[in-house]
Amino acid sequence: MKKLEEYVRSIPDFPEPGIIFRDVTSILLDADGLQLAIDALQDLLKGVDVDVIAGTESRGFIFGVPVAYNLHKPFVPIRKKGKLPCETVSQTYDLEYGSAEIEMHKDAILPGQKVVLIDDLIATGGTIEAAAKLVESLGGQVVKIIFLMELAGLKGRERLENYDVASVICYEGK
C-alpha cells in the first residue's frame, strides 16, 4: 500500500506563480487513500478524551464525519455565515484581503464538553482559530485540533500555540 503522501496531487503555480497547491481531492478519489486519511486522522486522537467532533465547512465535514462515526461521537458542523437554520453564534476572522464569518448552532456544544476540531489543511490558521473561539464561547473545551495536511511555511501553528495541534502530513513550504 502506498503512503498517504503519495495520494496527494501537487499542482505547481496554483493559484499563483510560486505556490504548490496540495490537492486533497486526489485522496478522496482513491478508496485506499481515503481509508488511509481517515485512519491517520483517527490515530492522532488515540488517548484523547473527547465528547464531540467538530469540523469546518466543507472539507472538515468530509474528514470529521467518518472519524466521529468511528468513535461513536456526535459531529458539529461549523459553517459559513447564513447557512444554519437555528439560532447561531458567530465569529469573524481576517482573510488575506478582507474578513469572513463562521457560525455554529448555539446549542451544538454544551458547557464542559471536550471538543476535537478537524479540517483538511492548516495554512494561516485563521478559520480554525475562529472555530476554537466559537467552541469556547459556548463553554466547550478544545482538547485537540487535527489536520490532514499542514503548510508549515504559513505559520498557522503559531497562531494556535495555546492548543494541542497535530497534522498527518507536513509540507515545509507554502
Exposure letters 139-155 (e unless 16+ CB within 10 A, then b): ebebbbbbbbbbbbebe
CA distances from 146 to 7, 27, 44 (A): 19, 17, 7
For helices 59-71 and 31-43, the axis angle rounded to 10 degrees is 70
Q: Known catalytic residue: 96?
A: yes
Give the phi and the psi of residue 38 in degrees, each rounded to 5. -65, -45
Catalytic residue among 16, 96, 161, 172: 96
37: region left, alpha or beta (phi > 0 left; psi from -120 to 50 alpha): alpha
Catalytic residue among 22, 59, 129, 157: 59
Residues 6+ apart with CB under 8 A from 23: 8, 9, 10, 11
Q: Known catalytic residue: 59?
A: yes
The grid coordinates listed for 127 are: 478559520
Residues belonging to the active site: 59, 96
